Amino acid sequence: MQTLAHVQSHVRTRQICMSEENKVLQAQLLMKHEKELSNLRSSIGPLHMLEPAVDTTRLALKAFTDQKSSSGTLDQAPKDHGFHHSRDICSRSGGVVAPDGLL
């Protein structure tokens, strides 16, 4: 019984040590990520300076889509330009079906 208690004590001690080591490693990783994020932000520059460009782009896109939807070009199905699939042509004429792209 003492051997089991002794082993359990060692296991518990090792679990505590591993937990403490894990906390230290997590803290180091968090510091590393914060530093990388800080470096990234400084290399990009102030984000508030990018917001006007994003707003301008968003407004231009909205104006474009509004113009297209008001003219109805966004909602229309593609028009038939007289091109037919080779299988459709051959099946109607009773001929042999040619591989795609040959007709």
Number of domains in the chain: 1
Residue 89 maps to a domain: no
Record the pTM. 0.41
Q: What are the backbone dihedrals phi and psi of residue 42, each rounded to the nearest 5 degrees, phi first?
A: -70, -30
Q: What is the pLDDT of residue 73?
A: 55
Model pLDDT for residues 72-93, shown as the tens digit of each residue: 655 455 555 454 444 444 444 4
User: Does any domain span residue 8?
Assistant: yes
Residue 23 within a domain: yes
Whole-angstrom CA distances from 27 to 15, 63, 75, 82 are 18, 48, 54, 67
Residue 57 domain flag = no
Q: Give the Cα separation of 10 and 18 in Å (integer).
A: 12
Domain hosting residue 3, numbered range: 1-34
Higher pLDDT among residues 26 and 87, named by residue: 26
In a domain, 95, yes or no: no
